[in-house]
């Protein structure tokens, strides 16, 4: 995947944090999705849908762009404007209570959102797994804690994140939280390489949230946090 193909879409209007397309690029390069135009992919917590656009263009598959804070009408208008209205379906549902069909998706992709709702044991098995087809793949990229600081999020990140610090977990912890199932072949978690680029591109954006993050970057974000990649392969 060549991120330069998407530069025109990566803007203050569409970005909601560190460059999500960088995170997606690393996941796709490491674990390319083998899908066809007849297959369906769920982009869970898609925000303004920029990741859904890239998933659609890179894979050719039908993409269900689900988010909670950004409504489906708003995303639908953006998808029409981007010329992907027929391929990408906007949905607005809580990840805790999705209403898709059983085994509807060949793959699930989730960038910078899974940590908001999935940080407890059993979530993956109960809320996600039923919607994924056999042999399906799950690719997740989220901010987290470096492994050497496992379980120290509240102590180290509260000045930046307040009472949301607990959401940041290390790759070791995420592997435990995803857990196992007789439908799961393998789970891999790791600290991603794209950290510096994704953050640099976000901190350069003219936006109050980016300016807020900039104040904590050197003292907190860079020393203690990373992006955690999660790859799950079903049997
Ligand atoms: C930081 S934004 C990232 C958006 C997008 N994936 C990106 O990388 O640009 C986090 C997203 O998680 C979504 N989210 C948070 N809690 C959710 C929930 N319970 N169900 C579905 N989406 C949720 C929000 O709606 C928000 O758009």
Of 30, 6, 33, nearest to 20 by C-alpha is 6
Domain ranges in the chain are: 3-234
45 CA → ligand 1 middle, Å: 4
User: What's residue 215's pLDDT?
Assistant: 97
Residue 128 CA to ligand 1 centre (angstroms): 15
The CATH code of the domain at 3-234 is 3.40.50.150
d(CA 47, CA 16): 7
Spatial separation of the C-alpha atoms in residues 119 and 12, rounded to whole Å: 28
Each residue's pLDDT, cut to its tens digit, for the chain (235 residues) gives 899 999 999 999 999 999 999 999 999 999 999 999 999 999 999 999 999 999 999 999 999 999 999 999 999 999 999 999 999 999 999 999 999 999 999 999 999 999 999 999 999 999 999 999 999 999 999 999 999 999 999 999 999 999 999 999 999 999 999 999 999 999 999 999 999 999 999 999 999 999 999 999 999 999 999 999 999 999 9
pTM value is: 0.97
Ligand 1 atom 6: the closest Cα is on which residue?
Answer: 46
- Which residue, 14, 32, 3, 227, is CA-closest to 115? 227
- Per-residue confidence (pLDDT) for residue 192, from 0 to 100: 98
- Distance from C-alpha of 28 to C-alpha of 128, rounded to nearest angstrom: 20
pLDDT at 86 (0 to 100):
97
In the prediction, which pLDDT does 8 show?
94
How far, in Å, is the centroid of ligand 1 from the Cα of 117?
9
Closest residue CA from atom 27 of ligand 1:
47
pLDDT of residue 89: 98
Nearest CA to ligand 1 atom 26: 47
Best residue among 11, 26, 67 to mutate for probing ligand 1's pocket (most ligand atoms within 8 Å of CB) is 67
* DSSP-assigned states of every residue in 49-103: SHHHHHHHHHH-SEEEEE-SSS-HHHHHHHHHHTT-TTTEEEE---TTS--PPTT
CA of 86 to the centre of ligand 1 (A): 23
Residues with CB under 6 A from ligand 1: 16-17, 20, 45-47, 50-51, 67-70, 94-96, 111-113, 116-117
Atom of ligand 1 nearest to the CA of 94: 20
Q: What pLDDT was estimated at residue 185?
A: 98
Residues 6+ apart with CB under 8 A from 192: 23, 26, 141, 226, 227, 228, 229
Ligand 1 centroid to residue 187 C-alpha, Å: 22
């Amino acid at each position: 995947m060549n991120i330069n193909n998407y530069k025109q879409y990566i803007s203050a209007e569409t970005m909601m944090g560190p460059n999500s397309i960088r995170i997606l690029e690393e996941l796709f390069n490491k674990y390319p999705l083998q899908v066809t135009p007849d297959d369906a992919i769920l982009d869970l917590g898609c925000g303004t849908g920029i990741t859904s656009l890239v998933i659609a263009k890179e894979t050719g598959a039908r993409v269900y762009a689900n988010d909670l804070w950004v409504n489906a009408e708003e995303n639908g208008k953006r998808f029409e404007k981007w010329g992907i209205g027929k391929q990408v379906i906007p949905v607005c549902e809580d990840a805790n209570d999705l209403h898709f069909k059983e085994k509807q998706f060949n793959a699930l992709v989730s960038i910078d959102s899974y940590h908001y709702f999935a940080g407890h044991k059993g979530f993956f098995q109960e809320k996600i797994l039923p919607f994924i087809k056999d042999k399906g793949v799950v690719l997740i990229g989220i901010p987290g804690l470096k492994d050497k600081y496992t379980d120290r999020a509240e102590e180290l990140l509260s000045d930046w994140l307040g009472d949301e610090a607990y959401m940041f977990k290390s790759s070791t912890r995420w592997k435990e939280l995803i857990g196992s199932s007789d439908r799961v072949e393998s789970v891999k978690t790791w600290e991603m390489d794209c950290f510096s680029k994704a953050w640099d591109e976000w901190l350069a954006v003219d936006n109050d949230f980016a300016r807020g993050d900039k104040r904590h970057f050197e003292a907190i974000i860079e020393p203690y946090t990373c992006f955690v990649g999660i790859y799950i392969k079903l049997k």
